Chains A and B, each alone.
Chain A
């Protein structure tokens, strides 16, 4: 057993507002510089929709993640043979059109315009070329709230393989639905970006599993960009280095949640470390697609298990980190309650960001001009929800409908149970039956309710101790660092 600690994350989509506060918290701090304008380490997508960069889930085009070939796990994007020819031209690289041309407006006109016979207006100009742009054609959030768009929703790669009826449903107002999916780097257990980097610039930190891209080592090969199936590494055209989400390690190291977590006003986010067994990685990565959700759960270890604790201690994991794993809300959502699911686990990178799928409003039926919500109980059964389960399963369980249904059923059972407890217009028998069918006990339902609804910052973000002195003493004596930190000159990454 090779025990590692990894920061994990859960986004509870049933609560997501789609507000993008997270995106801006991140942008303000990290990607507001020349060369980073188009980077959205955190973005939020409306589903169904094509997302950012557009159609990023289309791995036939972008070639992200891993694939199984015989008994080998291979990067889709590259191989040793392909690295060199692809360095100068990689057909799977998203282009500026797949992102967008950052723009601003010529605001100075408003102050400077000489008196004329019409009102001046600040025209849009490119942030890259400075040239006027007559029409803005794309942005990082272009299909926001467009759910049911005959262009964007229709071209959502997850629509492929749905029945014609299911596809049509999502484009009609009578039966439409939409929900939001915030995305950051998944800090995967098996990161394809790390594997693809010819310079060794990408690495996974030992203490927390955060995937970082060294601004010293990066040589702009950009192999990581197609390799990441989530399109979460970006090339900085100004510095010539790629950059990506750093999970706000400077904040985590100071005991604060990452900015996008801290700022989440929907209170949908959870963060905590889990212990996993690196020895199992190769085996689980080869499993058939519909077993991948279980496989990922398997590799996460029970932090209360004495054997695990012993092995963790042997691996040098401090007590405080083990204790933190025991209190991790991520462990609860993912492993204990099986509510949270990895997005597109079929890419086989084993993302450490998990999503609790959303319950959506009940489907309506239309007769003539009259719309009817067909309900025979207070809450609709999950099969009557407005997004086809097959669609959601493509996102969150590699198409495994059972895993998705399990989550949604349990979410619904918690509601039914709490309705019984707080109102009583649902019979106890019915409430208990709902729990039973959802593989849930009353205690578990109450726990899920509390962590979903009542959790404070400290409950949502259980940040392991970072023991910065231990990290730094491998480079410099902390006593020296205390006295010297901050003196000297900052140096920006240099193009190499």
Chain B
């Protein structure tokens, strides 16, 4: 032993040897490797994590810190992460882990019995399906224990047999799949959707189903959602947070808001409760629940009056003129002695433009130079015309190129002032207000009165400007809608607080060039009239020039819709590399109808306020009838399509002599028109139209995603239910066949891929053990930041689990083997498709004509759904699955209306990456998820600079603008999967997204439109403040407006509910909570420990006192839909009249029985919800109101629900 030195600094008072024990904790910290991964479902965080492995076991995770650099004057993104993400490693080896395949015992017994009798698995499956008693036997057992461990071999055999049986017996569109938002593990999603689409099965949408889709975004911008990344909040100088609890749901991002405050940004939080984010606010505005729309309507009143009319703020006016439809001309139509605003005047109505192509879809401004109506470029008619290069926002006439100096208002110079009628839905009245008009001569000699959108908006918002009519006297006029005094009655917030807010807002926007941001979330979007509340807030942004500006805009973060490499990914995920036609279903309609929730309500107008003089039956009918209309007219999809199998139909077509695809289409059309062939939606409860086989992966479709969970249990699954609601619809419905007895147990087989035993797994028939997010390769992106990064296996899939990719690939293989006998050769399939956004179908239906009523010609793809013929190759389904097909190579790729060629890169993949060979052809391989990742990365514009350049070049042709410089500098950049594993990569500028983000500039939506004059994908190409769709006019939503919240008595939540002892009725809210991301994480030990071991029922101190509830007491929460039993959390931060159960608990742990509902196991938060759809969100074939998956359609709103609560003395499990 050498002489060891002594150092006073280190030794201090202690013998150094006494510190040898310190290695105890050092040993714990030591680890063997660190692998980058992330959390793969339903969280916008998209944080990069370092997973630490010790002795081959994942031991913990810590945040990665190596994000791409942002502008140095913006706070960096690190460390990103949250309490939920960092608890994930608990799952891997936990007792909740699904380690092996499981099957419902009752089904396995039946299967064994059937297999003993039938050598062929498909025949065996059929024998069970054909016997109602057998079917009921295992359905009844769903969710009630009796699971048994089984093998992959048996599981795959049963699933494949069921798929083949369903396709043969009922048609492929009775096979469905649900998986939530793909962005967070896009390849795991793609695996299932690819298999389904190759089969002809159906993918259910998610964004609208969750009610995360803000319909106002397609309404105003023609965009599903595009928002600024959270780093851009730092640029905002005024931040209004409404319905968004940033601490809860944007945990890794909220620091940008906090940091903005230090930099002098003002932050105002709107929330009925003193929410966690209210703590950050300069001002907390305790707005009454669901009344935010009233607030913003009055804010707009103040902004328009003071800054537009009185001050004539040039910046605001120029923005409004250039970037909105405000200067567009509306035709006034007579309304008794008065007038009302109708549709936009079409350019084709004027002599000057009669020769112009698509002139029904080109519109007019009033040009101050020529003092006449002229046709600006950039509208939808220019987008889809033969003439290229005129789809832009340059203020020039589309015909002759002359300058247009558009008039915003006719206030100064007009032919007269028309008294126009406006609906006041708040009071159920109509008001008449003067609007200045001009006249134009149409080519048929008629003189029509035209007004600008701007003047109509001014009138709607009640800005009098000295005009006659029922305008408010002043801000204190509380009788007049949209004054600050009026808003006070609804919001509970004083008028002077509102006026000060509006002024601070507008002054900030003026001083900063539009740096005001509204951060908005589910707290707004989940109300029935969410689209109206959103539009009101959007108008405040637009009128002050805040959209398309860094630091400005509507920051909607609900759900995580942004799958960055959408262009290449979609081709792979939807198997468009093999078949152009896919079956994509809007989830809300599907669940509303198939889970029979429509049967439990009467007319939609029972709770939706519509104009009292609305003439069309649409505004006064049962919602399902509107949905039927929407399907017939091609506005919305519906699967199954037909009242019979699409494959049998193709055979019938062939038997009838229809050989070519064109002949088949014509024949099917005739069958539909003659009404010999029905749509399945017209007989929703007929057994031949039930969905049969349901794949669920990456999600909790039966619990956290199941609005109307108890209806799912009964109608889908055929097991017990705690709902007490009864059929109400019989007398209200007209266009659907009424089944006397609602079916129970529609689903033959429910298959769940899962890593944990959640509620969906518990209720499924077969549970396949899925690899966790630390055990597989995948990719992840979000709208909260502009980079893409990987999931990667820190350890191989544990126990018998496999990645989603491998599971669906392996199922495809077994399916193909079985198909050799049952579905050999080519199988012809007929696919219906709704009219599609970002296609010429945006110009399909200028009026709402119904071919079934003889109001128009039935034309597939124009007045009715498109009809496509697909020849499926079931025996090669596996080969197709693992090969990237040729269509992208031949036709190129694109998304959101972009397009680019990629043949060279396809060939490069084939030359340099793994390939798959079959039937003499060679294809890039998709056998492993990493191969698929490399195909996506190589062919997307956001990760391959050359392709971004090409896509801009194509946009240059379409728009006549110079754009390719946006990609010039990153043209040579390529990204592959290994690059992502090394470090998250920032995305390129690319035209499929509306924001620009080069050089560390925070991504902000619509900066591309504002800075480069590229139109929005709307009717006028501008931000649409006026929605002139005839259906919108019919429903009174063409103008921004306020509609009252549906009342509980109108909403049929509490008709049949028992009241026992002291109870209280409360408005039931389910915002996102602190201890879970949806239902994930909530059941792990970290989260249950830091919460209260349950999802409590939050209520106010005063309400609790009324019925004798003390904090942590057991409570029973009931309505017609179901029941929850949990414990109360009593706090003064909750206002009277509302209650909260944070989304989303599981039924799997700590849930007691419900004494009131038969002493059965109580449910989860979705036991108390039922879906109601909003009919005007079903319209289609008209500009931005044209269907696209997750882009358009009604949403599964749930905020307007009411419950009763009572205290429970004791509980039992």
Contacts and interface: CB of A to CB of B under 8 A. Distances in A.
A178 B279 contact: yes
Contacts of B512: 422-423
Given A17-B254, A147-B1133, A139 B281 contact: no
Interface string A345-385: 00000000000001011101001011111010011100000
Contacts of B1153: 118
Contacts of A15: 255, 258-259
Contacts of A19: 82-83, 247, 251, 1074
A94 interface: no
A324 interface: no
A400 interface: no
B28 interface: yes
Which range holds the interface residue count of chain A? 35 or more
Contact of B282 (A205, A254, A379, A423): A379
Which range holds the interface residue count of chain B? 35 or more
B133 interface: no
Nearest to A147: B1133
Interface in A90-125: 102-105, 107-108, 110-111, 113-124
B475 to A, nearest CB: 14
Interface string B1075-1103: 00000000101101111111000001100
Nearest to B260: A453
B247 A107 contact: no
B145 interface: yes
A142 B7 CA distance: 46
Interface in A404-456: 411, 414-425, 448-449, 452-456
B736 to A, nearest CB: 32
Contacts of B105: 115
A19 B258 CA distance: 14
A474 B16 contact: yes
Contact of A375 (B278, B283, B1089): B283
A206 B14 contact: yes
Contact of A250 (B9, B26, B494, B1149): B26
Contact of B274 (A28, A147, A151): A147
Nearest to B763: A119
A246 B264 contact: no
Given A142-B1092, A173-B1134, A423-B512, A267 B79 contact: yes
Contacts of B28: 29-30, 250
Given A452-B259, A457-B65, A373 B14 contact: no
B85 to A, nearest CB: 8
Contact of B25 (A250, A362, A424): A250
A378 B145 CA distance: 60
Given A265-B81, A360-B279, A114 B247 contact: no
B1059 interface: no
A115 B139 CA distance: 12
A493 B22 CA distance: 11
Contacts of B102: 111
A204 interface: yes
B1132 interface: yes
B24 A265 contact: no
A61 interface: no
Name the residue among A119, A249, A362, A456 with the largest chain B CB count within 10 angstroms.
A119
Interface stretch (A159-167, A213-221, A327-335): A213-221
Nearest to B14: A203
Contact of A118 (B63, B147, B497, B1160): B1160
A21 B1090 contact: no
A246 B1085 CA distance: 23
B86 interface: yes
Nearest to A172: B1132
Interface string A259-275: 10011111100000000
Contacts of B27: 490
Given A207-B9, A454-B73, A364 B284 contact: yes
Contacts of B276: 17-18, 145
Name the residue among B83, B497, B1127 with the largest chain A CB count within 10 angstroms.
B83
A216 B17 CA distance: 11
B78 interface: yes
Interface in A473-496: 473-477, 486, 490, 492-493
Contacts of B1114: 135
A178 B263 contact: no
B551 to A, nearest CB: 10
B259 A215 contact: no
A449 B1149 contact: no
Interface string B1-38: 01011111111111011111110111111100000000
Contact of B508 (A114, A370, A425): A425
B283 A361 contact: yes
A375 B497 CA distance: 8
A1 interface: no
A171 B1105 CA distance: 14
Contacts of B83: 19-21, 23-24
A246 B25 contact: yes
Given A25-B86, A144-B1074, A267 B75 contact: yes
B266 interface: yes
A113 B1133 contact: no
A137 interface: yes
B519 to A, nearest CB: 15
B282 to A, nearest CB: 6
A119 B1161 CA distance: 6
Contacts of A369: 492
A474 B11 contact: yes
A122 B81 contact: no
Contacts of B259: 15, 267, 452-454
Contacts of A215: 21, 24
B29 A371 contact: no
24 contacts: A17-B254, A18-B247, A29-B59, A30-B25, A107-B1148, A115-B144, A122-B1149, A139-B1093, A144-B1091, A147-B1131, A173-B286, A173-B1134, A176-B274, A250-B29, A315-B8, A315-B9, A371-B494, A373-B283, A373-B285, A378-B266, A379-B282, A414-B262, A419-B264, A474-B7
Q: Which 6 interchain pairs have the tightest Cβ spacing? A: A206-B12, A115-B146, A419-B264, A148-B1132, A113-B145, A316-B9
Interface of A: 5, 14-15, 17-21, 23-25, 27-30, 102-105, 107-108, 110-111, 113-124, 132, 134-137, 139-142, 144-153, 171-174, 176-180, 203-207, 212, 214-217, 246, 248-251, 253-254, 259, 262-267, 315-318, 358, 360-362, 364, 367, 369-373, 375, 378-380, 386, 411, 414-425, 448-449, 452-457, 467, 470-471, 473-477, 486, 490, 492-493
Interface of B: 2, 4-14, 16-22, 24-30, 59-63, 65, 72-76, 78-83, 85-87, 89, 94-96, 102, 105-106, 141, 143-147, 234, 237, 247, 251-252, 254-255, 258-266, 269, 273-274, 276, 278-279, 281-286, 488, 492-494, 496-497, 500, 504, 507-508, 511-512, 720, 757, 762, 1074, 1083, 1085-1086, 1088-1094, 1100-1101, 1110-1112, 1114, 1127, 1129-1135, 1147-1153, 1160-1161, 1211, 1213
Given A151-B1110, A173-B273, 9 more contacts: A108-B95, A139-B1091, A147-B1133, A316-B9, A318-B9, A367-B494, A475-B16, A476-B4, A493-B24
